[in-house]
């Protein structure tokens, strides 16, 4: 009962015109962040509010990404938040439901606002097929793996050579021979399959990987997606069979501790986990981050798609509140704010200007030099490199994770069969989503 009352109160907090008589227009922002990330956002809101008297941003914690999305979907037009924070993956659901939001391109064009400093891979994910901005990038993370330099060096392995899953498998054998208990940690997440596919330039759904329209079918039963998927499943199956894969059901805190302790050498992760590892090791561990590999050895890595969350303008039919929200978005994109948020969360800055601040440069130099590699990879990424845009992402995500677990846990279940079965299930989830529209 209490939870229902709290949800109702949260939904009502975004309702209607909130301009007080003679006072500033209130802008309601839903945020998923607590801790240092939440403190960073609140500080930006406080500074913005103090810098002008036309608008007042009120930041409300809205729960996890999933909770926030559910609350937003149950909100009627006019009672939505003016700004809502959603995951990169959930952005596709907004794109497919244009009544949810106002594309920020409306204000980018009106203000002739320069978005060119934002990294190309972010632009690829958050613009439409005509290059028009739909939402504002907030977090900026890339997928790849952390590596323990000391453990790798003892086994005669160079992180610079780990550019594909095939090369990682070869390295894991050397690490096992050198006595490393679990050479490789694979966390239960579909991104460790999809990002390498994207790095190879392989679409896994139709309609330009979802960019030109909601997908109507997956491509995992066609080439080259079928062979690449089978090879990925075979990779994790081989490691599991050789006992070189850490237990698949471990909690994130346990895998990080295992990595810091030197019980593992390579851990799939997003770069935003950097702060947690650094703090867990008191910043004394010699570790680095390598961007998402390809699946096959010798294949060109076309670039790094992105994650990390975005801000949408809620469609409430109130241009004054829209304009105030846009003004705050611009404030958040100031270099000192993008760099401060990155340092508070472990994300990368969303733009080169933020990466070039003296504070962020010192942070990288002192604590995480390989962040430069990730930013360079983002800068080198083409505008046509992005993870599939999937309005039915939650179902897709669960299907991939289920087959990853099945391949690992069932010795007789082949990689070929997993690929065929997963293609069938994903096609069914796409069909069900499109039927429900």
Mind listing the pLDDT tens digit for each residue in 183-202? 999 988 999 999 999 999 99
Kindly give the interhelix angle for 225-241 and 165-177, rounded to the nearest 10 degrees.
10
Q: Supply the pLDDT for residue 78.
A: 86
Average pLDDT over residues 80-105: 95
Is the pLDDT reported for residue 328 higher than 50?
Answer: yes
Better pLDDT: 29 or 307: 29
Could you tell me which residues come within 8 angstroms of residue 350 by beta carbon, excluding any fewer than 6 positions away?
Answer: 118, 119, 122, 137, 138, 139, 140, 333, 338
Q: Give the 3-state secondary structure of residue 57.
A: strand
Mind listing the pLDDT tens digit for each residue in 258-304? 999 999 999 999 988 888 899 999 999 999 999 999 999 999 999 88
CA distance linking residue 69 with residue 71, whole number of Å: 5
Mind listing the pLDDT tens digit for each residue in 141-174? 989 999 999 999 999 999 999 999 999 999 999 9
Mind listing the pLDDT tens digit for each residue in 413-432? 999 999 999 999 999 999 99
Contact between 397 and 315 (Cβ < 8 Å):
no
Q: Supply the pLDDT for residue 21.
A: 58
Strands (E), 121-194: 136-137, 143-148, 184-185
Residue corresponding to tokens 């609350």: 71
Domains annotated on the chain, with CATH: 2-140+307-376 (3.40.190.10), 143-303+392-436 (3.40.190.10)
- The token duo for 71 is 């609350």
Q: Supply the pLDDT for residue 1.
A: 41
Residue corresponding to tokens 């733009």: 351
Average pLDDT over residues 54-74: 96
Banded pLDDT at 8 (limits 50, 70, 90): very low
Q: What is the mean pLDDT of the chain?
A: 92
Would you give the DSSP letter of residue 29? E
Q: Supply the pLDDT for residue 306.
A: 85
Contact between 303 and 380 (Cβ < 8 Å):
yes
Better pLDDT: 187 or 228: 228
Is the pLDDT reported for residue 408 higher than 90?
Answer: yes
By percentage, how much of the chain surpasses pLDDT 90? 80
**Residue 359: burial class (beta carbons within 10 Å; 0-12, 13-18, 19+):** middle
Mind listing the pLDDT tens digit for each residue in 371-400? 888 888 888 888 888 899 999 999 999 999
The CA-to-CA distance between both ends of the chain, in Å, stands at 31
Q: Supply the pLDDT for residue 321.
A: 96
**Residue 434: burial class (beta carbons within 10 Å; 0-12, 13-18, 19+):** middle
Contact between 12 and 79 (Cβ < 8 Å):
yes
By percentage, how much of the chain surpasses pLDDT 70? 95
Is the pLDDT reported for residue 53 higher than 50?
Answer: yes
Q: Supply the pLDDT for residue 16.
A: 44
Banded pLDDT at 22 (limits 50, 70, 90): confident
133 φ, ψ (degrees, to nearest 5): -65, 135
Q: Supply the pLDDT for residue 9.
A: 45
Q: Supply the pLDDT for residue 133.
A: 97
Q: Supply the pLDDT for residue 10.
A: 47
- Selection from 397, 388, 386, 391 nearest residue 422 by Cα: 397
Is the pLDDT reported for residue 216 higher than 80?
Answer: yes
Q: Supply the pLDDT for residue 101.
A: 97
Strand partners, 310: 86, 137
Average pLDDT over residues 327-353: 95
CA distance linking residue 144 with residue 163, whole number of Å: 10
**Residue 131: burial class (beta carbons within 10 Å; 0-12, 13-18, 19+):** exposed
CA distance linking residue 402 with residue 393, whole number of Å: 14
CA distance linking residue 104 with residue 134, whole number of Å: 5
Average pLDDT over residues 76-88: 93
Banded pLDDT at 234 (limits 50, 70, 90): very high
Q: Supply the pLDDT for residue 104.
A: 98
């Amino acid at each position: 009962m209490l939870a229902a009352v709290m949800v109702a109160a949260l939904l009502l907090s975004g309702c209607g015109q909130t301009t007080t008589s003679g006072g500033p227009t209130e802008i309601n922002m839903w945020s998923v962040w607590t801790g240092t990330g939440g403190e960073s956002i609140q500080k930006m809101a406080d500074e913005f509010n103090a810098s002008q008297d036309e608008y007042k941003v009120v930041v409300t914690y809205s729960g996890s990404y999933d909770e926030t999305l559910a609350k937003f979907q149950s909100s009627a037009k006019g009672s939505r938040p003016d700004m809502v924070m959603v995951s990169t993956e959930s952005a596709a659901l907004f794109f497919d439901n244009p009544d949810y939001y106002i594309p920020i391109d409306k204000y980018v064009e009106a203000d002739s606002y320069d978005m060119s400093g934002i990294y190309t891979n972010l632009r690829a994910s958050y613009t439409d097929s005509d290059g028009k901005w739909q939402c504002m990038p907030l977090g900026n993370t890339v997928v790849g793996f952390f590596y323990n330099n000391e453990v790798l060096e003892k086994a005669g392995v160079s992180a610079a050579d780990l550019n594909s899953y095939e090369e990682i498998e070869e390295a894991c054998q050397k690490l096992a021979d050198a006595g490393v208990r679990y050479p490789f940690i694979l966390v239960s997440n579909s991104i460790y399959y999809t990002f390498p596919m994207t790095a190879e330039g392989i679409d896994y759904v139709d309609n330009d990987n979802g960019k030109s329209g909601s997908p109507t079918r997956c491509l995992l039963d066609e080439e080259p997606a079928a062979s690449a998927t089978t090879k990925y499943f075979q990779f994790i199956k081989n490691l599991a069979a050789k006992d070189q894969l850490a237990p698949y059901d471990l909690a994130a805190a346990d895998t990080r501790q295992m990595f810091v302790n030197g019980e593992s050498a390579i851990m799939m992760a997003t770069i935003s986990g950097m702060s947690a590892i650094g703090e867990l090791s008191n910043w004394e561990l010699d570790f680095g981050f390598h961007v998402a590999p390809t699946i096959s050895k010798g294949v060109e890595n076309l670039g790094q798609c992105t994650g990390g969350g975005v801000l949408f303008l809620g469609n409430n039919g109130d241009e004054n509140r829209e304009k105030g929200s846009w003004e705050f978005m611009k404030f958040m994109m100031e270099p000192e704010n993008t760099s401060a948020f990155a340092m508070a969360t472990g994300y990368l800055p969303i733009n080169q200007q933020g990466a070039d601040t003296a504070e962020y440069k010192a942070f990288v130099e002192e604590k995480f030099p390989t962040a430069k590699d990730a930013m360079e990879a983002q800068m080198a990424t083409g505008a046509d490199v992005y993870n599939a845009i999937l309005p039915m992402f939650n179902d897709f995500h669960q299907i991939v994770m289920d087959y990853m677990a099945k391949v690992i846990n069932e010795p007789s279940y082949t990689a070929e069969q997993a690929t065929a079965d997963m293609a069938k299930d994903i096609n069914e989830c796409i069909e069900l989503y499109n039927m429900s529209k």
